[in-house]
Amino acid sequence: MHRVLVTGGSGFLGSHLCDRLIERGNDILCIDNFFTGSKINIKHLLKHPNFEVMRHDLTQPLYVEVNRIFNLACPASPVHYQHDPIQTTKTSVLGAINMLGLAKRLRARILQASTSEVYGDPEIHPQVEGYWGQVNPIGVRSCYDEGKRCAESLFFDYYRKWSLDIKVMRIFNTYGPRMHPNDGRVVSNFIVQALRGEPITIFGDGTQTRSFCYVDDMIDGMLRLMDAPVEFTGPVNFGNPIEFTMLELAETVIKIVGGKASLTFKALPQDDPKQRQPDISLAKQVLGWEPRVSLDEGLKETAAYFRQLLRV
């Protein structure tokens, strides 16, 4: 049994991770400032003897005793991370410094939840881990993109200087139950609009592509990476390599939700990438990981969650 710290543990990914860690018999300390996380996501765990939650802002030092750290804390949707971009950068950078310092003191293994956004608007397709990316360092998304890039840099500096036991995963678009209904991400946007009978908003002409990984698959990958041999640090891509255009996603959501939702088109946001698809060869080769939940299956589960949440 491990004593595990999960930062951002009441968020979308964090709460699912806490569930899986509890199932494994671990002792969990969930840290969150509840800016984007929700107590509803972890309500079912609050009375579990192996689960503890603490309100804490990761930009401040933390002194606890654990032997594994999952660093997931940071707003991950454009709506949320652009709300207070300075705080977003501080969470990524100061949060990484504080957690790396804690891991160094405890000699704990630490996993960084990085992002496909480190690739920016990519010039190569699909994206491989060796690609350095094309990021606008002064754009509206740079608080998140550059914050996560700096965090990766810090992780590898601690690895080189102190031989810290690190794992770095780059998470591509992930969806599923417990997403925030107003997070501005395309899957939640489309489902919520379709359930409410509103026009589905497509930015640009709808030909831009994304790949969508269901949350259960992503958590499986996260756990496999954390359990991997010490010499395998990453970074490693996790996501679904099957691409869909925004028009294809909208059509699939309408088919699953039902009704006759219409489409409305708006201008593409600044620095919005035109293509995003992971090369997951490394995850397959080293970890034996690849996503197994189809888009139709995952969207059905997600739509059912939002239908209950919104009572529509």
DSSP state of 267: P
Q: Who's near 291: CB < 8 A, 6+ residues apart?
A: 213, 214, 217, 218, 239, 240
The sign of the CA dihedral 195, 196, 200, 201 is negative
Buried residues in 139-170 as b, exposed as e (16+ CB within 10 A): eebbbbbbbbbbbbebbbebbeeeebbbbbbb
**Burial status of residue 264 (CB atoms within 10 A of its CB: 0-12, 13-18, 19 or more):** exposed
Catalytic choice (81, 119, 131, 144): 144
Q: Which two tokens stand for residue 30?
A: 């969930």
HSE-CB for 211 with a 13 A CA cutoff: 23
Closest CA to 175 of 3, 84, 294: 294
Residue 105 Rama label (left phi>0; alpha psi -120 to 50; beta): alpha
DSSP per-residue letters across 176-223:
-TT--TTS--HHHHHHHHHHTTPPEEEETTS--EEE-EEHHHHHHHHH
- Look up tokens 């939940």; give the residue: 293
Whether 159 is catalytic: no
| Distance of alpha carbon 148 from alpha carbon 81, whole angstroms | 12
Which amino acids are annotated catalytic?
144
